[in-house]
Amino acid sequence: METFVVRVWVPDRPGALGQVASRIGAVRGDVVGIDILERGAGRAIDELVVELPDASLVSLLLAEIDQVDGVDVEDVRPAPPHLADPRLDALETAALLVGAASYQDLLAALVAHARRDFGAEWAVIIDLDDKALLASHGAPPPPAWLVAFVAGSRSSAAVSSGECGPDDVAWAELGDTRLALLLGRQGRPFRSRERHQLAALCRIAQYVMKNLGVDRAVPVRL
């Protein structure tokens, strides 16, 4: 079996997702996982984990889904070798953060696991005052760009609250520590559920910082 993750926009009405599942079944596909990323304005954005007997059926799968009225496919990608459970990953990351033995371990775990959990291309923690990277994973933009991005985003209450934001970058502040965690990825927009999950991780990290006796940013050698 070949496994794919299919991100779809579905009308938020009874039976719509069932119609999509029926179309998937028509090409001998099996829906083995569903993750609801966003709801609003009469539509829902769902990620479906679909098993197909052969990868050559992907184009036929998309054609079948396209037949459901009001449904659009945003993205299709092969599932990673070890398909993760987003909710279990979030709990495991929270447990790792709470168990961090030092400030340095906390920041390193936060960027590494946030990048993994969200499928991001890069993840960073930046000191907004000193414009310095305290931890990073991947190849992020320059610190000055990241600080300017956060400053600009604060002008929008909807962006600051995690309700929306640019497609390719998600961010959240670690409470009043003057630190921010930013993630970036191309081709697969961040959605509201992901942004709220990111903010929750930052709240956990701030709690751990206080337990470690750290009230705000402390220089860390990368």
- The pLDDT of residue 67 is 92
- The pLDDT of residue 112 is 94
Ranges in the chain annotated CATH 3.30.450.40? 86-211
- The pLDDT of residue 222 is 45
Spatial neighbors of 180 by CB under 8 A, at least 6 apart, are 125, 126, 128, 146, 150, 171, 172, 173, 174
- The pLDDT of residue 113 is 93
User: Whole-angstrom Cα distance, residue 62 to residue 6?
Assistant: 9
- The pLDDT of residue 167 is 81
Full-model pTM: 0.75
- Contact predicate 140/122, CB 8 Å: yes
Ranges in the chain annotated CATH 3.30.70.260? 2-78
- The pLDDT of residue 218 is 64
Q: Could you tell me what percentage of the chain is helix, strand and coil, using 3-state DSSP and rounding each to the nearest 5?
A: 40, 30, 35
Class of domain 2-78: alpha beta
**CATH fold of 86-211:** Beta-Lactamase (3.30.450)
User: Whole-angstrom Cα distance, residue 94 to residue 108?
Assistant: 13
The tens place of each residue's pLDDT in the chain, 222 residues long, gives 899 999 999 998 889 999 999 999 999 999 998 888 888 889 999 999 999 999 999 999 999 999 999 999 999 999 876 666 777 888 899 999 999 999 999 999 999 999 988 989 999 999 998 899 999 999 999 999 999 999 888 877 666 666 667 789 999 999 888 899 999 998 888 988 899 999 999 999 999 999 998 876 665 544
